Amino acid sequence: MTHLVQINHIHKTFGNTAVLQDVSLTVQPGEFVSLLGPSGCGKSTLLRIIAGLEHQDSGDVYIGDRRVDGLAARDRNVAMVFQNYALYPHMSVRDNIAMPLMMDRMGLWARQPMVMGWWPGNRSALHEIDQLVRGVSDSLQLSTLLHRKPGQLSGGQRQRVALARAMVRDPSIFLMDEPLSNLDAKLRVEVRNELADLHQRLGASFLYVTHDQNEALSLSNRVAVMDKGRILQMDSPQRLYESPATLAVARFIGTPMINTWEVSLDAEGEFQDFSGSQRCGAERSGQLTLGLRPDHLTVAQAGVFEYSVDRQAQVVVRRCENQGPEWILQLQTMTSPTVGLQARLSNRRLSSVPATGDHITIGWRLADVMAFDHQGHRIDLTWRPPSRMTL
């Protein structure tokens, strides 16, 4: 049965190192939430605290309307899927899946092989466990593999066995700690699709830890971007990409990484960059960081842009990367040698692919430009015509 999971003001330190700092989040019933961030940001520690494998220094964890801080891991009704699967190598797939139910419903002596068959009450319990194992095995296409040992399975099959062992308990929430990181690229995509289908079929709550933004953005209803023990922003994948709240989030989300460059505003809110002069409606002076996604850049072909642009600049092509359906161009601005840009361009929309060393003209719309203050916080700007001639 799926429940609301709520984490309030969690703090955790190891020695003098603050691993989690005032972390709060909510996972709605049936929601798929990912914790996304670099290694060491605290995402796995937060997952282990929810599971009861670590204890927080302060803060509360609620599953449904029950505070679970004082409960052991086995009493929280959560299922955790680890990076290394943690399967019993000497047991069959069936026994691996059944083990959590046997541990929960049968005593120590009742589970012993020599007495399991005749122990009072075992027959009905074993029949019920067998029905549950067969049901979850069918849903994950494991029915023909129940007699095999983990060593006889592929990586994707072992991952499905680990998922089945978690599913069979009907947990309040699935906690997944980088479950796909040991798989090769092709298998990772396949199992990722299986996870998405599984979430849709079960309607269960998932809290998923990953450092791979493709996994997080493709699977999740919402993503919590973490860094240095804090949640920087929690939002839908689309809003994280289009409306990052901070420069750190803007740089972490998106492949290739967002283009950024520094500008200095004068008293009238005007600045000069590699595309010339521009004025904004900010009533401030000082430094700003501007950001532009690589897919928001377009290239003039035969002197004509594909669509109307507000700004343009001359650049030299430093490198061209063929990605199949698209090209990634590494560019160097002509007037500001310290500013490098990347452009992501559809293969079908290029009449000819620029070569390394070519001088080309790029353009973009001001509506696509993001602005961040000196502390890295997103600010809204109103773009205005420059007071002097653009270079």
Residue 388 has pLDDT above 60, yes or no: no
| pLDDT for the residue numbered 390 | 47
Dump the DSSP string for 155-208.
HHHHHHHHHHHHHTT--SEEEEESTTTTS-HHHHHHHHHHHHHHHHHH---EEE
Contact (Cβ atoms closer than 8 angstroms) between residue 103 and residue 156: no
Positive or negative CA dihedral for 297, 301, 303, 309? negative
**Domains with residue ranges and CATH for the chain:** 5-248 (3.40.50.300), 256-384 (2.40.50.100)
Residues 6+ away with beta carbon under 8 Å from 227: 37, 38, 41, 248, 252
Positive or negative CA dihedral for 146, 150, 154, 159? positive
pLDDT: which is higher, 170 or 105: 170
Mean pLDDT of 304-326: 93
Tens digits of residue pLDDT in 8-47? 999 999 999 999 999 999 999 999 999 999 989 999 999 9
What's the CA angle centered on 234, arms 229 and 239, to 5 degrees?
A: 140
At residue 191, what are phi and psi to the nearest 5 degrees?
A: -70, -35
| pLDDT for the residue numbered 313 | 95
317 vs 354: CA distance, rounded Å: 7
Contact (Cβ atoms closer than 8 angstroms) between residue 289 and residue 260: yes
Tens digits of residue pLDDT in 94-134? 989 988 887 776 666 556 665 565 566 666 777 788 888 88
Contact (Cβ atoms closer than 8 angstroms) between residue 97 and residue 163: no
| pLDDT for the residue numbered 262 | 94
Residue 391 has pLDDT above 50, yes or no: no
| pLDDT for the residue numbered 126 | 77
Q: What does pLDDT average to over the chain?
A: 87
Helix axes 155-167, 185-202, angle to 10 degrees: 20
Tens digits of residue pLDDT in 321-354? 999 899 999 999 988 888 899 999 998 888 888 9
Q: For the whole model, what pTM was predicted? A: 0.85
Nearest Cα neighbor of 322 from 278, 297, 355, 300 is 355
Positive or negative CA dihedral for 307, 313, 314, 315? negative
Rounded to 10 degrees, the C-alpha dihedral 203/205/206/207 comes to: 160
In DSSP terms, 333 is beta-bridged to 315
At residue 199, what are phi and psi to the nearest 5 degrees?
A: -60, -40
